[in-house]
Amino acid sequence: MLFHFDQRLGPRLLFDITKVTESHVKAALTRLMDFNFLIEMKAFVNAMANVVYTSMFFSINNPLARGGREQFMLSVVVFEPTITEYLMISSLEEELSKTISKLVTMPEMLIIVSEANPKLEDYPDIAELLYQLKDKAISVFEEFFYGQFEGGQDAISELLRKIGNEAGKNILSKELHENKNSTSRTKIISILDSPIVGRWGKFSLLHYDPYEKVATISVKNSIWTESIGVIATKTCAFIEGMLEAIFSSVLNENVVCREMRCASQYSYVTECMFQISPSIVGEERVTYREEQTIREIGFQEREKTLELLKKDIGLELYYQIDDPTIRLNQLFNKAPFISDFYFDESKFLVVCNYWRYPDEIMCSSCETWIRNTTKVDIKLTKSQHRLCEIIYKLDNKNERCNKSSTNKHN
């Protein structure tokens, strides 16, 4: 993606060969040119939503421009990145620099800045350079991926997973010896609560079925997410490998561990979620079990929301609140799966942790749940930007109050 800082209009996107469809991604990348932390010809890496990107700021002399220079930025964007891509993208700095060294010599660069909507096909030499950079970025990743693990898509995660698996076996050699007469559930809880496992985060066994060989584990304050932060991709492959080794031994059967949700993916996720299932189970069956587990967790969190309302307010007093805005506000404040929300006189915008899952898991029943719980007539619409829009209706009494309040202000 190639950007230009227009002297009158500010930053704008010139060319995009990634074909980005998310307007908020384009807007966020474009706004980077407004920040004064950018250093010329020095690449920087950042992540947001479901992308990671590396960008380099540069300028071209132009005596007709204010300050005598035209300012540009070149970015390489990776969607749905793996941890390998996140860590490897910084290695593209040299390729960005090489591309820019050619762009600054092209007279066409000073022509496109004068056009309101330049088209890339009208500038084949610039297009060729951008596509060459894209191909080089792909080859850098592929060279690393396929040279490490046969069939692996994320070399660093594969490596961390293998190390975690060995760590899990070492943990078992100590912990199982001390708990050899316990039930499988007791053994697992004891291991997850042990200091040696606790150094990687706070583990909780949410669901366990020894007959089906399935389990769900949550991890708060994972050392990987705490250390790396939010980078738009999962970072807990080590824990996947460790849990796989632990559960395979306790269940006396080979199982696979998959991280379903990671705190490094989204800023509103506070804990990582892992699913254990038999390794012989087909992909469709595994997906079904994951969805069932998410649904069970969702229903539990809804019940917890009601418990918090009863404890802090009391349902009788809660339903005596006339203003539906307050009732909705109280519900969203108590719901553990709602990380943030905004509201005005007619609607709420809610950031929900279940937004990313298929509608049939939780979202389809959410409107009915909110309506029945708050006794407020609402309509829920799921947006494209991790938000749900909830439009609510005021009763006649509250409408009169609002109008009266408005008249007083007028």
pLDDT digits (tens, 9 = 90+) for 87-142: 778 888 889 999 999 999 999 999 998 888 899 999 999 999 999 999 888 877 76
Which pLDDT score, from 0 to 100, does residue 394 have?
A: 66
Same domain, 18 and 121: yes
CA distance 358 to 381: 14
Tallying the residues shown for the chain, one arrives at: 410
Identify whether residues 142 and 161 lie together within a single domain: no
Question: Do the domain assignments include residue 347?
Answer: yes
Task: Give the gyration radius of the chain's Cα atoms.
Answer: 26
Same domain, yes or no, for 181 and 225?
Answer: yes
Q: Is residue 84 part of a domain?
A: yes
Indicate if 141 and 99 belong to the same structural domain.
yes
Q: Where are the alpha helices (DSSP H) in 283-395?
A: 283-312, 315-319, 324-334, 363-374
Confidence (pLDDT) at 119: 92
Domain check: are 135 and 159 in the same one? no
Buried b or exposed e, range 223-257, using 16+ CB within 10 angstroms: ebbeebebbbbbbbbbbbbbbbbbbbbbbeeebbb
Residues 183 and 254 placed together within one structural domain of the fold: yes
Same domain, 368 and 247: no
Question: 323: how many CB neighbours lie within 10 A of its CB?
Answer: 15
Q: Is residue 246 within 8 Å of residue 171, measured between CB atoms? A: yes
Domain boundary, last residue among 114, 146, 178: 146
Same domain, 122 and 254: no
Q: What is the pLDDT of residue 124?
A: 93
- The CATH number of the domain holding residue 229 is 3.30.1380.20
Query: Last residue of some domain: 146, 170, 192?
Result: 146
CA distances from 158 to 87, 142, 145, 281 (A): 14, 15, 10, 21
Cβ neighbors of 133 (< 8 A, separation 6 or more) are: 74, 76, 95, 96, 99
How many domains does the chain contain in total?
3
Predicted local confidence at residue 397, as pLDDT: 52
| Closest among 130, 140, 138, 141 to 16, alpha carbons compared | 130
pLDDT number for residue 244: 94
Are the C-beta atoms of 296 and 281 separated by less than 8 Å? Answer: no
Question: Residues 39, 142: one domain?
Answer: yes
Regarding whether 131 and 80 lie in a shared domain, the answer is yes
Domain residue limits at 209: 155-281
Rounded CA gap, 345 and 26, in Å? 30
Q: Taking the mean position of all CA atoms in its chain, how far away is CA 156?
A: 19
402 belongs to a structural domain: no
Instruction: Read off the CATH number of the domain in which 341 is found.
Output: 3.30.1360
C-alpha dist (Å) from residue 167 to 173, 240, 251, 252, 312: 10, 11, 18, 18, 43
- Residues 15, 34: one domain? yes
Q: Are the C-beta atoms of residues 254 and 245 closer than 8 Å to each other?
A: no
pLDDT less than 70: residues of the chain: 19-22, 35-38, 49, 142-155, 175-181, 280-292, 384-386, 394-410
Domain-ending residue, one of 281, 302, 335: 281
Q: Retrieve residue 158's tokens.
A: 């594969």
Q: Tens of pLDDT along 360-383?
A: 778 888 999 999 999 999 999 887
Q: Confirm whether 305 is domain-assigned.
A: no
Residues 12 and 121 in one domain: yes
Is there a domain that residue 142 lies in?
Answer: yes
Neighbours of 313 (CB within 10 A): 16
**Domain assignment of residue 120, yes or no:** yes
Task: Look at residue 236 in the predicted model and tell me its pLDDT.
Answer: 92
Residue 272 lies in a domain: yes
For residue 297, tell me if it sits in a domain.
Answer: no
Q: What is the pTM of this model?
A: 0.55
